Every structure is written in C-alpha cells, then in structure tokens.
Amino acid sequence: MPLVVFCGLPYSGKSRRAEELRAALAAEGRAVQVVDDAAVLGAEDATVYGDSAREKALRGALRAAVERRLSRQDVVILDSLNYIKGFRYELYCLARAARTPLCLVYCVRPGSLNGGLRVAGAMDNPNRNVSVSWRPRAEEGGRPLAVGTDVLGEPQAVASVVNRQAQAEVPTESEPKETRATDFPALVASESEKSAEHVSGAFYPPELLEALALRFEAPDSRNRWDRPLFTLVGLEEPLPLAEIRAALFENRAPPPHQSTQSQPLASGSFLHQLDQVTSQVLAGLMEAQKSAVPGDLLKLPGTTEHLRFTRPLTMAELSRLRRQFISYTKMHPNNENLPQLANMFLQYLSQSLH
C-alpha cells in the first residue's frame, strides 16, 4: 500500500499532521502504520541530529522499518525530518521496488515571510522545554513584538506570552533583543492557538536548529521523488485529504527500472535448445556456401529467413557472431521465441555481416 513521507524542520507540525492523516485513513477502515524517530530509537532524541554517525544509523533504521512495513495491505506514514533529498530518493526507490504509490507532505512553520523566530530563555537555559506559538502575532498588549534572532534559518513569528507582568515588560526594538529566562518563565500559544500547540518529546537547542536549517534541502516538485508534493503552512491550514487520498489510491505506482525487474521465466532446456539450434544453423551455412556463388540466397530447411551470400564465411567468424547472439538471448529468455530461434539467428547474421 502507499507510502506517505513527511518532511520539515522541527516544530513544524509534522507529528500532529501525521496523526491527523492516520486518524482520517483509519476512520475509513484502512490499516495505517506510523514510523517515526521514537519508534526506532525507543524515545525521541534530538541529539542524534548533532552526530553525523548516529544520524546516518537512524536513517538506515528508518529506511529498514519502512521497507519491512511496505505491503499491499497497510498504508505506511514516515514521520521524521527527512530533510536530505538523497534519503527521500532512497524512499522513492523503496516504493518503486514495492510497486506502490507515494506522496510527500512538506510542513512549514507559519510566518515564513516576516520576522524571525525567537525562543526566550533558550540560550540561557538549554534544558528547558519551551513551547512556541504556531501563528505569527503582529501585536501583543497593543505594542509590536520585537524581532528576534533567526534561529531556524527561515523567518518565523515571536511566541505570545501569557504572563501579564511579562507582557508589560516586552522590550522595544531599541532594547536588547535577548531576553533572559528569569524574566519570562514560559512561552505558550495564544488562546486561539491552544488547539495547535505542539508538544515535543525532545528539545532542539537553537544551535542545532540553525544547523538543521542550513543543511535542509527543501522538496522540489520537479523531482520525481518529491512528487506529488503537498505543502502545509502551519496547523490552521486544513489537511488536503481528498488530494492526498487521490494521490495514494488513484495514481499509478512509479514504474520499476528494467535492471530491478525479475527475469521472465524460461524452461530449463532453453539454453540447451539455443545452443543446439545455433550450432545447426552454422553447420547448414558452411555446407550451403560450398556450392554457392556471390549473390545467391542461402536457404536452410525449416527456416523462412535467408542469408545473401557475398563472400566465403569462416567458421571462426560465424562462431564469434554465434557467441554474441547467445549472450544477448540469455539476457532476455522467452519460451515463446523457441520456434523462431533459427530465423532470429539468421536475421542477426544478415545484419552483422552486411
């Protein structure tokens, strides 16, 4: 069954969107399996993405978990960063080998065109799990919010603060941009965004977020492994269930490469018959050319193809062409061609000699 790959930076709503899609498909009676970092590692651990060796092992484990679950009965959802296009291509190859459709869902934090993300207290207290709002807010308490440091590498909006005393002390643009954790004990989503609040089991330090943003390779629908592509901005935008359902259950699976396809079944005596027929053709040609003159058509019993005689042919030359024909025919064995092997060999000799 189809494969759904989620892609995006941390805190972009991938897990919540994956759960929303899982619930929608399960409500239709479809079997859905979700593969994420926690399922592979046992618990979500953001430090994996700071170690290239551990991250490589994680990608291998995710790929293996997806490959084990791909079947004709279940829908597989991969909920991870998937920010490397080479890894997304490997997932595409898995779906192509399993002959099942796939689609990519790209989750983006809202407010990506204005302002920078700022997490108060993250630099001073890295062990603290800070909750950040999903939607940008232009004002808080009648005053514009200060624009913070761009941590994710893509513009984001500043989270709202529910502490009244903290709201009165929101710094202006002329004040220092960095805010200490002691001044703002917590950041939570606004009242209109509480339903969209993301609860993450792992805390990503700002340095790691910035590094991931620099390494992030955004999906491109022009790449065959990134399409069909669905881009979701924030959690308030509705999930395009109808389009995703059509991409998964109505589209054709990616065509497999010829090199990955199984050889067609051939009888156990195919090679023996091929060797015997070609040997008989060579013996007949050597006998027929003894009484032929240039311009004659060499005819063999039981064949409809003819070979025009232009010059005497040696056994060494004919044997070399016979080996080439056998090597090519072994790559594409077909029992239906057995009655026509002699005609095919004569046609091959005619094209190779003239």
Lowest-confidence pick of 216-220, 244-248, 271-275:
271-275
Looking at residue 260, what DSSP letter applies?
G
The tokens for 64 are 């293996």
In a domain, 175, yes or no: no
pLDDT of residue 333: 74
Question: Region 69-82: what's the mean pLDDT?
Answer: 90
Question: How far, in Å, CA of 4 to CA of 36, rounded?
Answer: 12
Phi and psi, residue 272, nearest 5°: -65, -45
Are residue 243 and residue 316 in the same domain, yes or no?
Answer: no
In a domain, 177, yes or no: no
In a domain, 97, yes or no: yes
Question: How far, in Å, CA of 80 to CA of 58, rounded?
Answer: 10
Indicate if the pLDDT at residue 125 is higher than 60.
no
Are residue 94 and residue 221 in the same domain, yes or no?
Answer: yes
CATH of the domain at 98: 3.40.50.300
Question: Region 88-107: what's the mean pLDDT?
Answer: 93
Are residue 308 and residue 223 in the same domain, yes or no?
Answer: no
Are residue 8 and residue 65 in the same domain, yes or no?
Answer: yes
Question: How far, in Å, CA of 217 to CA of 103, rounded?
Answer: 17
Percent of the chain with pLDDT over 70: 70
Are residue 278 and residue 238 in the same domain, yes or no?
Answer: no
In a domain, 48, yes or no: yes
What pLDDT, in 10s, does the model give residues 281-329?
A: 999 999 988 888 888 888 888 788 888 888 888 999 999 999 999 988 8
Question: How far, in Å, CA of 196 to CA of 285, rounded?
Answer: 82
In a domain, 53, yes or no: yes
Question: How far, in Å, CA of 115 to CA of 124, rounded?
Answer: 22
Q: What is the mean pLDDT of the chain?
A: 75
Residue 192 neighbours by CB distance under 10 Å:
12
Lowest-confidence pick of 56-60, 129-133, 254-258, 278-282:
129-133
In total, how many domains does the chain have?
Answer: 2
In a domain, 293, yes or no: yes
pLDDT of residue 261: 60
Q: What one-letter code names the amino acid at 138?
A: A
N-to-C CA span, the chain: 52
In a domain, 252, yes or no: yes
Are residue 252 and residue 313 in the same domain, yes or no?
Answer: no
User: Which segment, 70-79, 86-95, 165-174, is predicted with the most confidence on average?
Assistant: 86-95
Are residue 348 and residue 272 in the same domain, yes or no?
Answer: yes
Q: Name the CA radius of gyration of the chain, rounded.
A: 33
What is the span of the domain harbouring residue 296? 268-352
pLDDT of residue 267: 57
Phi and psi, residue 14, nearest 5°: -60, -50
Q: Name the percent of the chain in helix, strand, coil, to the closest 5.
A: 40, 10, 45
Are residue 217 and residue 319 in the same domain, yes or no?
Answer: no
When comparing pLDDT for 262 and 123, which is higher? 262
Question: How far, in Å, CA of 3 to CA of 271, rounded?
Answer: 41
What pLDDT, in 10s, does the model give residues 213-235?
A: 999 999 999 999 999 999 999 88
Looking at residue 272, what DSSP letter applies?
H
Task: Measure the CA dihedral 45/51/53/54, to 10°.
Answer: -10
Indicate if the pLDDT at residue 183 is higher than 80.
no
The tokens for 218 are 């955004």
Last residue within a domain, chosen from 217, 236, 258: 258
pLDDT of residue 133: 31
Does the reported pTM lie above 0.85?
Answer: no
Are residue 101 and residue 64 in the same domain, yes or no?
Answer: yes
In a domain, 171, yes or no: no
Q: Where are the alpha helices (DSSP H) in the chain?
A: 14-27, 37-41, 52-69, 85-97, 164-168, 206-215, 241-249, 270-288, 315-331, 341-353
When comparing pLDDT for 255 and 133, which is higher? 255
Are residue 37 and residue 3 in the same domain, yes or no?
Answer: yes
Are residue 232 and residue 324 in the same domain, yes or no?
Answer: no
Are residue 273 and residue 254 in the same domain, yes or no?
Answer: no
Q: How confident is the model at residue 84 (pLDDT cuts 50, 70, 90)?
A: very high
